[in-house]
Amino acid sequence: MAQQDSGQQVAEAEASASEFLDDTVDAEAREQAHRERGTARPITVVGNPVLHRRCQDVTEFDDALARLVDDMFASQRAAEGVGLAANQIGVDLRVFVYDCPDDDGVRHVGAICNPVIDELPAERRVLDDSNEGCLSVPTAYAALPRPDYAVCRGQDLQGNPVAVEGTGYFARCLQHETDHLNGYLYIDRLSKRDRKDALRQMEEGTPRYDTVPND
C-alpha cells in the first residue's frame, strides 16, 4: 500500500471531522433558549416502571417533540444535571438532552433522538473507571468502567441523521443516557454489592430536586 500524500491525509481528516455534529457552537445560548421556553418537571427515580423498559422510538419530529426537549433542558438545569433522558421525566420516548463538558472543559449541548452507541474496535476500548451518578438514583455514586470514547448516532429534532463523538466525561454521558432509553440505569451495570451500596446511599440521602414518588 502506497504512503498517502499530505494533501490526501488532510482531505480524509476533514471528511472524518465533518461526519460529527459540532455541538460546541453557541452552546450557552442554545441551552438557555431551550431552558427558558421549557418548564421543569420532577424526576422519576429507580423503581418507576418507565425507567426499566426500552422506550418507544421517536417517529414524529413536531412541535410536541420540541416542547418536550425544552422541558427536558429546563428539568436538567433545575436538577443540576449534565444529561437527561425523556423517561427520567416520565415520557416513554427515545430522546435525550445533554449539557456536558468533556475532559478538556469544552461544553457540549444537544439533543439526540433514537440514539445508538457505536461498537468500538478493541484498539479503541480504553476503559475509564471514574465515579458515575444519576438523577434517577439521587445522592448515590459508584465507580463504573466505561470506554473513554464514544460515538452516538441518531436523529436531530427535525429527523435528520446526526452523529456525536465524545471523550472522557462526555463519552460517559452519551453512554449513560443511551442506556436510560434502553431501560437500564447505571446501577444495573454494577456488582450486586456495589448496587446495594448505591441504593443505600440513595435511601440515606435527600434529593436536591423534585422527584416522583414510586407509589
Active site residues: 177
| Parallel, antiparallel or unpaired: strands 107-117 and 127-128 | unpaired
How far apart CA 172 and CA 10 sit, in angstroms, is 29
41 close to 184: Cβ distance less than 8 angstroms: no
Only one residue has cell 478538556, namely: 104
190 close to 202: Cβ distance less than 8 angstroms: no
Grid cell listed for 187: 446501577
How far apart CA 165 and CA 108 sit, in angstroms, is 10
At position 33, the amino acid (one-letter code) is A
149 close to 120: Cβ distance less than 8 angstroms: yes
Looking at the DSSP bridge assignments, the partners of residue 96 are 85, 112
